[in-house]
Structure 1
Amino acid sequence: MGLPKRLLTPVLLTTLLMTGPSLAGPETLPEEQQAFWERFQDLCGKAFAGEISDVTPYYEDGVVDRELRMQVMECEEDRIHAPFHVDDNHSRNWILTIVDGTIRLKHDHRYEDGTEEDISQYGGDAPTPGLPTRQIFPADEHTAEILPKRADNFWFFDFVDEDTLQYGVHWPKYGHSIRVEFDLSETIPAPPRPWGYENDSPDR
């Protein structure tokens, strides 16, 4: 609910412009995270092939000998949407946003009809500042609620070099992990749009 115009004195208006969340500019990141964010945004509109560089037996069935593709599909000033495709399964989306002075990673999972899966929106916020090339995302409270056994999970994105981006997840309690490596030196044709995002984006 907004304040009546008569209450917006010059002093109060100046204060709102400086501190009000709806009037302030986009949040700023630490220098290291800003460099990471810009590097990710440089990939916008491009798609890349991936391969498994490391995996423990727990994850093998779902990823070994599969076609893995990533597309940095949509980029906004404070949001990056990167679908991750496994063969003809287009349910997985990585959503990176700038929130509370850091970068947040969420995994948005959709059924083929576009509705959200029961296990979705897990992830977490990167501890600041991290590295310009690597950000780690420990599991947040929502993740612990829907996946109690994975409360110690963490995910990461790592620009290993100019031509290599790695995404991975590690589950310390049980020693399960997976790392996918994307070749940034060569783009591939864009995969189909992910389920639920064929036209307009679902409600965020």
Structure 2
Amino acid sequence: MSARKRTAILISGRGSNMSALIEAARSPDYPADIVLVLSNRAEAQGLAYARERGIATAVIDHKIYAGREEFEKSMQVLLDLHHIEIICLAGFLRVLTPAFVQHWEGRLLNIHPSLLPAYRGLDTHARALADGVKIHGCTVHFVAPALDEGPIIAQAAVAVLDDDTPDTLAARVLTQEHVIFPAALAAVAGGHLQIKDNRVVFDHAKPEPPALRVPADGMLDP
């Protein structure tokens, strides 16, 4: 297979989606290699998990910078140092500038706990329950300058139960996040898709590695 894409994961906390990506990338036929975990918080729990698995880690504290642009310049220096080709945002609690997003266009992925374009922003599970929806879920998308926008790579649907609380619904959605994020990264790193206008189109004529099984419509059901 061709060289694995050097991938960085950006986190701010425990990094449960980071863990799912790292475990998927341990497979020798997975097309992405997780080579760096970067956090804006020294206390982020996910850093220890990454270090224990031999992955380089770094902390760039956003609070010591005068603004987002200066913070991102330091991040970019580190990303360049590690020859990063793809970035995954896995609970990275910083809003990125349009300049940074545009520099990484088509190579910057995010996971969001709703079926976008529904429920952008925070408190997605509580808002879904308040609206009485019957289907909820999660989305992996390419990052665009606007909040929680960008071409959708994959989604997973979760049925909303009558006795659900935000916590119980969040737990079931999180299980699906751990499925679709590694699948989406594999699709991007393996060159299995194209962006046409604001849509992601999968090239299923190209042989897929065993680690990748994304349906033609990009929708993964539990």
TM-score (norm 2): 0.29
Report which of the two structures shows the higher radius of gyration computed on alpha carbons: 1
Q: TM-score if structure 1 supplies the norm length?
A: 0.31
- Report which of the two has the higher share of strand: 1
